[in-house]
Chains A and B, each alone.
Chain A
Amino acid sequence: MFRWTKPIVFAAALGVAGVVSAEQDASGKTGLGRAATPAEVAAWDIDVRSDFKGLPKGSGTVDQGELIWESTCATCHGTFAESNLFFTPLIGGTTEEDIETGRVASLTSPTQSVRTTIMKAISVSTLWDYIRRAMPWDNPKSLNDDEVYAVLAYLLNLADIVDYDFTLSDETIQQVQERMPNRNGAVFWEGLWRVDGEPDTHNTACMSDCLDDVVVSSTLPDHARNAHGDLAAQMRIVGPVRGVNALEPPLAGSIEDNIDAVRQHARATLDAAAPTADGAAGSSVSSEETEAVTALLNDNGCLACHARDTKVLGPSYLEIYSRYGDGDDTGALVQKILNGGSGVWGPVPMPPHPNLSEADAERMVAWILDGAPQ
């Protein structure tokens, strides 16, 4: 199945065109690109494989991890990595017996709907690699190697995989792998790995009298009818069909009874969606400033936790506007951005932003209190 590349093809093609580069070597290479330096490879080659190839030397304790966790991770994941507010819980759902067998029993239960990270993780190397490369959420790759060991040690302790006095290191991590609750829970399955793999379903192209009865086994639950909004507003307003107004009950009667109303409603969704001229009415922030503030919000990681019109980790800017838009709370809000705060909008604290200038924070607040114009 292997098809070997033929470098000679390059040489032939280039030769015909008469553009053989002076740098092109005898094997027909293009001479493009340059050698990577050892420091460059070291800077980017941060992956850790499940046989621990790539794992750097280092260590961290559960205690050290707890401190980092509280300041850096708990906002999103909860103090005990149990939070389900923004991400699926990391820890929970595993037992001492699972640690013995390497199979998480609760995964076999049809009623187990939440699958925590520790229930599924096959290899501890995966956790180390991912914390190193992608965490924390809004400041990835900011933990040093020892800090990654420490944070992971804390998580493993929460999952009762290691004791509270454990030191996780490149030397002890193999012991941890032997206690990972779902280490035996995966199969490498070739059927969907190889392009010529063996399928596991075997339908046939029957053309007539294929079924005795057509059994409808599932329909959209009534409560989900309007969950995606007005479907008419998501479909074209011309052609053989229109979208249905899913904010209303299903259509009744026969098609002739419905055509006109369906057409008219579909057309109305388009007019409703059209931007109105007074969208920015009353706004004193210019569109250039809006663009600049949006860039500031983006560059400073604000949009990881806030969005204009929907609650993310923190309140939406429109929610803040509707609470503070009437008064003059600029100073207090600027201080809140710079120094952080908690308790106003829910359990998640707003972290401090020491690298943000007061002037930039003031621009952000001015934009929010202007109604967060788009």
Chain B
Amino acid sequence: MRKKKGVPTGRVRNAPEGFVAPELIQEISRKGLDDNRRAFLRKSFTAATAVATAGAGARALASTVDDPMIVEPRPWSTSLGQPVASRPYGMPSKYEANLQRRQSPGLTQTNQSSVSFAPLQGMFGIITPSGLHFERHHQGWVDIDPEQHRFMINGMVRQPKVYTMDDLMRFPSVSRMHFIECGANTGMEWGNVAVPTVQYTHGMLSCSEFTGVPLRDLLDDCGADFENARFVLAEGADGSGMTRTISMDNVLDDVLVVYGMNGEMLRPENGYPLRLVVPGVQGVSSVKWLRRIEVGDKPWDTKDEAIHYMDMMPDGMMRQYTSIQECKSVITTPSGGQVLLGKGFYNVTGLAWSGRGHIKQVDVSFDGGKNWRTARLETPVLDKCLTRFNIDWVWDGSPTILQSRAMDSTGFVQPRYRQLREVRGTRSVYHNNAIQSWLVSESGEVFNVQVD
């Protein structure tokens, strides 16, 4: 084993304290950083630094110790690096090993009908690396030989047909970016705070570029009876034979039969070699290991439509066929279980999405929902796709509550917990899209809390 060389930790210079006037912090918190206020901030910083260095004495001397990371040779700059293709399928840096999909202990009783959550707290932009895409399997994942895989279309069609992967990959293809969110995402939080970090509160959410064939083209190819058909059934080839009823409106709009994901074939955990993607609809409908589509005129009431994936209402009634993932957002940094590394400037960042269209606006509150500022939306902003938002923030070290609130292209605004519970109570599992609150404490630790 190669002996690991100790990496000196060096001396970290403290930022000059209190360099921003309280009035300016308040103003920035209220109105954000425009050019004018940026200039003030720069001036404050320059002034503070000037005081620190001009102050002479011990402090000035201490702060000018040279950083050994700069003045001493570093091993990576003074040695020969690794050859090409030493890792033929690349891996993240070993320093990124903490970011993994993880299970929530005790959530499920078996590991095959279970969930692993994506580490949203460490992601950038909107695309989920394929190896970190959340998992939800109903009877374990399988790795199907693509040469042995078959895809059938039957039911209300002129000609039931069978396609091989070779056939499907010759069809005119499209590539689209969409999120997939499990209907039960944030489900543990309906009644009360239950989990500590955004990985567990919101991590049944991922977003990819999918490549495949529009399902309507394949139905066309079989002569589907579009006059009378109102639904399709999608069925998986895994042990659970996963089945879901899908609206023909969705099929004719944007449902895809997918084999590609983020530039490569689907990963086995995500349905290799073929899956359905039903944009904007709860993930369970995007049936993995897709083996069959049946065209029909009535919904099927499958296990995950007539026993599970029903929304429990306060009067004990079950809302069936609640499919759309409504507008929702969450701040990913800072978020629960994190510790801020000092007062001062932060780029507050997060994700927003809607199953009904695209994100129009995201507002962020730094005072628990009393006042809001509009965040910057990063491009692209696409239908039924994650949108990244960012907003400037200067933390003055006092306790506060951060929230984000998204509005979609229909004008719908993400609800507060009180609004959601007034209609749907607290005993549902599915479709919790309430505004998430993160409490930043004086100690720097961030906590998951709920604000009515």
Query: Is A165's beta carbon under 8 Å from chain B?
Result: no
B192 to chain A: closest residue by CB: A218
Contact B405 A203 (CB under 8 A): yes
Contacting residue for A200 out of B341, B373, B424, CB 8 A: B424
Contact B95 A40 (CB under 8 A): no
Binds A, one of B62-70, B101-109, B204-212, B258-266: B101-109
Residues of B in contact (CB 8 Å), total 148
Query: In the complex the two chains form, what is the Cα distance from A50 to B280 in whole Å?
Result: 26
CB 8 Å contact bits of A99-121 with B (1 = contact, 0 = none): 00001110110100001010011
CB 8 Å contact bits of B231-243 with A (1 = contact, 0 = none): 0010100011101
Query: Is A195's beta carbon under 8 Å from chain B?
Result: yes
Contact A141 B241 (CB under 8 A): yes
Given the contacts A240-B333, A273-B97, A192 and B405 also touching, CB distance less than 8 Å: no
Please classify how large the interface on chain A is, using the bins under 10, 10 to 19, 20 to 34, 35 or more: 35 or more
Query: Is A201's beta carbon under 8 Å from chain B?
Result: yes
B346 to chain A: closest residue by CB: A240
Contact B341 A126 (CB under 8 A): no
Within 8 A of A (CB), among B274-316: 280, 291-292, 294, 296, 298-303, 305-308, 310-312, 315-316
Query: Is B401's beta carbon under 8 Å from chain A?
Result: yes
B433 to chain A: closest residue by CB: A201
Given the contacts A220-B196, A242-B339, A50 and B368 also touching, CB distance less than 8 Å: no
Contacting residue for A34 out of B102, B111, B161, B333, CB 8 A: B161
Query: Is A344's beta carbon under 8 Å from chain B?
Result: no
Contact A126 B370 (CB under 8 A): no
Binds A, one of B19-27, B34-42, B409-417: B409-417
Query: Is B431's beta carbon under 8 Å from chain A?
Result: yes
CB 8 Å contact bits of A113-150 with B (1 = contact, 0 = none): 00101001111011001100110010011000000000
Given the contacts A186-B310, A241-B340, A273-B97, A195 and B316 also touching, CB distance less than 8 Å: no
Closest Cβ–Cβ distance, residue B387 to chain A (whole Å): 16
Query: In the complex the two chains form, what is the Cα distance from A208 to B407 in whole Å?
Result: 16
Contacting residue for B152 out of A44, A182, A192, A203, CB 8 A: A44
Closest Cβ–Cβ distance, residue B194 to chain A (whole Å): 7
Query: Is B225's beta carbon under 8 Å from chain A?
Result: no
Chain B residues closer than 8 Å to A332, beta-carbon distance: none
Closest Cβ–Cβ distance, residue B145 to chain A (whole Å): 14
10 residue pairs, one from A and one from B, having the closest CB atoms: A214-B368, A108-B316, A255-B444, A133-B241, A201-B415, A107-B316, A192-B322, A251-B443, A231-B337, A50-B301
Residues of chain B whose beta carbon lies under 8 Å from any beta carbon of chain A: 1, 12, 94-100, 102, 104-106, 109-112, 119, 121-122, 138-140, 152-155, 159-164, 167-168, 170-172, 192-197, 199-200, 214, 216-217, 219-221, 226, 233, 235, 239-241, 243, 247-250, 252-253, 280, 291-292, 294, 296, 298-303, 305-308, 310-312, 315-324, 326, 333-334, 336-343, 346-347, 355-356, 361, 363, 367-373, 397, 401, 405, 407, 410, 412-417, 419-420, 423-424, 427, 431, 437, 439, 441-452
Residues of chain A whose beta carbon lies under 8 Å from any beta carbon of chain B: 1-5, 7, 10, 13, 29-30, 32-36, 40-41, 44-47, 49-51, 53, 85-88, 103-105, 107-108, 110, 115, 117, 120-123, 125-126, 129-130, 133-134, 137, 140-141, 182, 185-189, 191-197, 199-211, 214-221, 224-225, 227-229, 231-244, 246, 250-260, 262-263, 269-270, 273-274, 277, 303-304, 307, 310, 312-313
